[in-house]
Amino acid sequence: MKISGVKGMNDVLPAEVARWHEMEAVARDVFALHGYREVRTPVVEPAQLFARGVGEATDIVNKEMYVFEDKGEELLALRPEGTAGTVRAFIEHGAYVEGPQKWFYMGPMFRRERPQKGRYRQFHQIGCEAFGVAEPFVDAEQIALLDGYLARLGVRAELRLNTVGDASCRPAYLADLKAWLTGRKAELCPDCNDRIERNPLRVLDCKTPSCQPVLEQAPRLLERLCEGCAAHFAQVKAGLEALGVAYRVDPRLVRGLDYYVRTAYEFTSDALGSQSAVAGGGRYDRLVETLGGPPTPGIGFALGEERLAMILEKAGRAPQERRPAVFFISADAAGALEALRRAAALRREGIACELDPRGGKFKAQFKQAERVGARYAVVLGENEVRSGEAKLKDMQSREETPVALDALAARLRG
Ligand code: AMP
């Protein structure tokens, strides 16, 4: 019986993995340049962590979390996002005593969403969290980091920027927003109606076309920010301008949870279709406290690797797989054994090489050399073993040059 993979959970096959390696290697490099250090946390956490750390009012926790019981112990969950676990680890290990910290993570996340293009049930995020700095230039630095990361990969994405205020300006605004939305209830979609009471800010984020003209007219927090939030926002923008990062202020971009404050941002790409966000982030100055740590401001983002891979694929950027420098072709039993030995020796020297352990016809072996993209082929048989000399055949030009087998490594490196 054939067993298929779980719906919404994808295999990344070897030909595609090279792209993932590139996304991750560039991330590690860019993050290290900015002082972000990697943290690895479990994919399973107490369900309670996400209820508190992401919020019970969110779809992610409310509807989409994979929750299970571990033999009568506390309820566990597959992590739906990376921030809550990172913050838990930050608190649990007392990392805050060392002052401001910049951490990053990468790995699989799980949400029971309706699978569609760009939306999966297991997907992968790369995320950064900067703890301990409330000042706006850390926001600008982090946004510029993400912008620079995407640029390094040749991706052009639009940066949308907003502020969601804080405890001094948001509550009064929310009350007005709720009243205003309630008055326009009939014109809004069922999802919006659902959210008016629970999470009115999220209504602004609705993507349903018929809601757009209504929501465009909704009252805007941007016009009613308190002094502190207005100053913070101005400084974030000034920082981005100083760093040459282009942005568009989008007054309807939100982060729907109470502990999110001030800066909210998202990078979107037309290449993605309806699920257009490749990364999103925001400031969460009360999250560490909410999860039982000392008051510690923070700001973070998460980027979707599947979506980034889609953009790269669409842009026609071929994944760069490492190809063998040389493919050994065996002419007889002595050659086959020599090929095995020579390949091992070259690999010890850091040179990728390949052979066909099945031996067989020359033609089939050459075909195999072509298929794996080898740069050169070397035929080995009794004669070559005896003389220590062989021919190095350029697989592209078909040109053959003599080479001493002991000089192969130097030759391939040169
Ligand atoms: P979020 O954690 O919802 O703010 O998402 C951050 C980023 O993760 C998004 O911009 C997407 O690129 C990616 N993402 C979120 N949910 C999914 C999903 N179900 N499937 C694929 N990518 C996702």
Q: How far is the CA of 120 from the centre of ligand 1 (A)?
A: 9
Q: Which amino acid is located at 19 in the chain?
A: R
Q: Is 305 in the pocket of ligand 1 (CB under 6 A)?
A: no
- The whole-angstrom separation of Cα 62 and Cα 46 is 15
% of the chain beyond a pLDDT of 90: 86
Is ligand 1 within 6 A of the CB of residue 281? no
Is 120 a pocket residue for ligand 1 (Cβ < 6 Å)? yes
End-to-end CA distance of the chain: 52
Q: Which of 95-99, 194-198, 367-371 has the lowest mean pLDDT?
A: 194-198
Q: Is the CB of 110 under 6 A from ligand 1?
A: no
Whether the CB of 112 sits within 6 Å of ligand 1: no
∠230-54-118 over CA atoms, to 5°? 95
Judge if the beta carbon of residue 104 lies within 6 A of ligand 1.
no
Residue 320 has a CB neighbour count (10 Å cut-off) of 10
CA 34 / ligand 1 centre spacing (Å): 23
205: Cβ below 6 Å to ligand 1? no
Q: Is the pTM of this model over 0.95?
A: no
pLDDT, tens digit (0-9, with 9 covering 90-100), for 66-88: 999 988 778 999 999 999 999 99
pLDDT at 256 over 70: no
Q: Give me ligand 1 centre to Cα 303, in Å.
A: 7
Average predicted confidence (pLDDT) for the chain: 94
**pLDDT tens for residues 380-410?**
999 999 999 999 999 999 999 999 999 999 9
Atom of ligand 1 nearest to the CA of 303: 7
**Rounded Cα distance, 156 and 58, in Å:** 30
Pocket test for ligand 1, best of 109, 146, 149, 267 (most atoms within 8 A of CB): 109
Task: Please identify, by atom number, the ligand 1 atom nearest to the C-alpha of residue 125.
Answer: 8
- Cα 128 to middle of ligand 1, angstroms: 14
Cα(241)–Cα(235) distance, rounded to whole angstroms? Answer: 10
Minimal CA–CA distance to 43: which of 91, 8, 77, 88?
A: 77
Asked whether 113 lines ligand 1 (CB < 6 A), one says: yes
Distance 246 CA to ligand 1 centre (A): 22
Q: How far is the CA of 280 from the centre of ligand 1 (A)?
A: 8
Nearest ligand 1 atom to the CA of 111 is: 19
Q: Which tens digit of pLDDT belongs to each residue from 220-253?
A: 999 999 999 999 999 999 999 999 999 999 999 9
Q: Phi-psi region for residue 405, left (φ > 0), alpha (ψ -120 to 50) or beta?
A: alpha
Q: Which atom of ligand 1 is nearest to the CA of 305?
A: 12
CB of 307 within 6 A of ligand 1: the answer is yes
Adjacent-strand bridge partners of 125:
107, 304
Could you read off the pLDDT of 61-70 as tens digits, one per residue? 888 999 999 8
Pocket test for ligand 1, best of 60, 78, 122, 123 (most atoms within 8 A of CB): 123
Q: Which of 38-47, 204-213, 316-325 has the highest mean pLDDT?
A: 38-47
Q: What is the mean pLDDT of residues 332-359?
A: 95
Ligand 1 proximity of 285 Cβ (cutoff 6 Å):
no
